[in-house]
């Protein structure tokens, strides 16, 4: 049986961080990605299916229809933060992440995962299990992981909105640079003429 024909589409399956919560959507890192690629790879389409408040369970439930609709070449999973903020099971989160990776691969797409850290008030033991869920899922399925999408942003108050959870508009180019560390090589497989520098 031949693999399904893929569109040159990048599917972003994320939560409020990728849905540009609290800022103009055009300023969000996914929109900046779309603009970047539109100049260098006109054939690539970026589909942002991110929803504020989304958990890994919610993303998993929505993914099959999104895969059918978009037939993506690359799926970027940016989920887990809300699992952590709700104190949900890291083991279930890992299972959900692995299943999303598996479904994406079965649909013919490559996958990268963008991780997040949760605040220190959740306790060291839970935070360790939470971080390890990303590592376990991506290692088991052999896909790239960016451990912390908000690196170089979260510790800078002027880069974060008043809620202390969501980055500001000025932080979005840094988020794109961070995400590009794991996305760049995969996107270049879709668009060989792409410059790998962010």
> Position of tokens 């949760």?
118
pLDDT in the model for residue 196: 65
166 has catalytic annotation: yes
39 has catalytic annotation: no
Question: Where are the domains positioned within the chain?
Answer: 9-190
Q: Model confidence over 43-57: pLDDT tens digits?
A: 899 999 999 999 999
Contacts 24+ apart (CB under 8 A), 168-172: 168/23, 169/23, 169/24, 169/27, 172/20, 172/23, 172/27, 172/28, 172/29, 172/32
Active-site residue identified among 50, 73, 131, 166: 166
Please provide the CATH number assigned to the domain covering 9-190: 3.40.50.1110
Active-site residue identified among 39, 142, 158, 163: 163
Active-site residue identified among 15, 16, 50, 117: 16
CB hemisphere CA count around 84 (13 angstroms): 27
d(CA 124, CA 89): 15
**The whole model's pTM is what?**
0.95
24 has catalytic annotation: no
State the average pLDDT for the chain. Answer: 94
Q: Model confidence over 155-195: pLDDT tens digits?
A: 999 999 999 999 999 999 999 999 999 999 999 998 888 87
């Amino acid at each position: 049986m031949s693999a399904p024909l893929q569109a040159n589409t990048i599917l972003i399956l994320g939560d409020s961080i990728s849905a540009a919560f609290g800022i103009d959507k055009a300023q969000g890192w996914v929109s900046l990605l779309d603009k970047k690629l539109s100049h260098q790879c006109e054939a690539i389409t970026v589909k942002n299916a991110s929803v504020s408040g989304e958990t890994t369970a919610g993303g998993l439930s929505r993914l099959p229809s999104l895969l059918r609709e978009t037939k993506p070449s690359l799926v970027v999973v940016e989920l887990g933060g809300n699992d952590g903020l709700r104190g949900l099971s890291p083991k279930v989160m890992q299972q959900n992440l692995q299943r999303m990776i598996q479904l994406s691969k079965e649909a013919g797409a490559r996958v990268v995962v963008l991780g997040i850290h949760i605040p220190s008030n959740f306790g060291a033991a839970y935070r360790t299990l939470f971080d390890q869920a990303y590592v376990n899922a991506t290692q088991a399925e052999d896909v790239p992981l960016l451990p912390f999408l908000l690196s170089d942003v979260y510790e800078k108050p002027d880069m974060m909105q008043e809620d202390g959870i969501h980055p500001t508009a000025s932080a979005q180019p840094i988020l794109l640079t961070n995400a590009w560390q794991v996305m760049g090589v995969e996107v270049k497989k879709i668009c060989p003429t792409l410059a790998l520098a962010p």
